[in-house]
A and B are shown apart, each in its own frame.
Chain A
Amino acid sequence: DTGVSQDPRHKITKRGQNVTFRCDPISEHNRLYWYRQTLGQGPEFLTYFQNEAQLEKSRLLSDRFSAERPKGSFSTLEIQRTEQGDSAMYLCASSRTSGGAYEQYFGPGTRLTVT
């Protein structure tokens, strides 16, 4: 399967702990996006990368959140000092920027529960 993959699929952590999630995009896609989704809502944009450059961050992305894509391939999203309000599904998506095909393809997500 050459789709977007994410690891771990589930994470339970205690409030105040740091967590890190990984996303591996579709190999020929140069754009990578992070979203957060809570129950009953659509995904909310957090940040995106084109190759290794982080080009945009949502105001939802507080100082406790940091994302990297060091070699323009996989990406990590770290949340420091987790809070209960961080409990959500964290989705990664990737897309091309050429050929007119800009659709985003999502990974299975990492479900975070902060206790």
Chain B
Amino acid sequence: RKEVEQDPGPFNVPEGATVAFNCTYSNSASQSFFWYRQDCRKEPKLLMSVYSSGNEDGRFTAQLNRASQYISLLIRDSKLSDSATYLCVVNERYNNNDMRFGAGTRLTVKP
């Protein structure tokens, strides 16, 4: 079983749609969680950290379920510019030197 698993997609949605991605992780002792966004042939960019209580940043909402060991990302009112690969990242240690990346979920938003 992979340490961090994501549905690879692709997810093809129309502009304005709401789309949700899930990610599961295997290490129950994992400490912190992030979503990164990666455009084609570019570096990953931090989208948001995921807090235990859940957090929202504009159209993006992240949730963490420690009991079931999954993380989710919800994108509301999707824009063409949201088209990218979304990487789920799990840190297995407190001091953040053991980041495990999922393979990513590809999203294409169409007009």
A46 to B93, CA, bound (A): 16
State whether the Cβ of B44 lies closer than 8 Å to any Cβ in chain A.
Answer: yes
Instruction: Verify A106–B98 contact, CB threshold 8 A.
Output: no
Of the residues B8, B42, B101, contact of A44 by C-beta under 8 Å: B101
Within 8 A of B (CB), among A27-71: 31, 33, 40-45, 48, 50, 55-56
A11 to B39, CA, bound (A): 20
Q: Which residue of A lies closest to B49 (CB)?
A: A103
Instruction: Verify A104–B43 contact, CB threshold 8 A.
Output: no
> How many residues of chain B are within 8 Å of chain A by beta carbon?
24
Q: Point out the residues of chain A lying under 8 angstroms from B49, CB to CB.
A: 103
Per-residue CB proximity of B31-67 to A under 8 Å, as 1/0? 0101000000111111001000000000000000000
State whether the Cβ of B28 lies closer than 8 Å to any Cβ in chain A.
Answer: no
CB distance from B57 to the nearest CB of A (A): 13
Within 8 A of A (CB), among B81-111: 87, 89, 91, 95-104
CB distance from B3 to the nearest CB of A (A): 10
Q: Which residue of A lies closest to B97 (CB)?
A: A48
- State whether A103 and B46 are in contact (beta carbons under 8 Å apart), knowing that A44-B101, A45-B98, A55-B97 are contacts in the complex: yes
Residues in A lying within 8 Å of B, measured CB to CB = 31, 33, 40-45, 48, 50, 55-56, 91, 95, 97, 102-109, 111
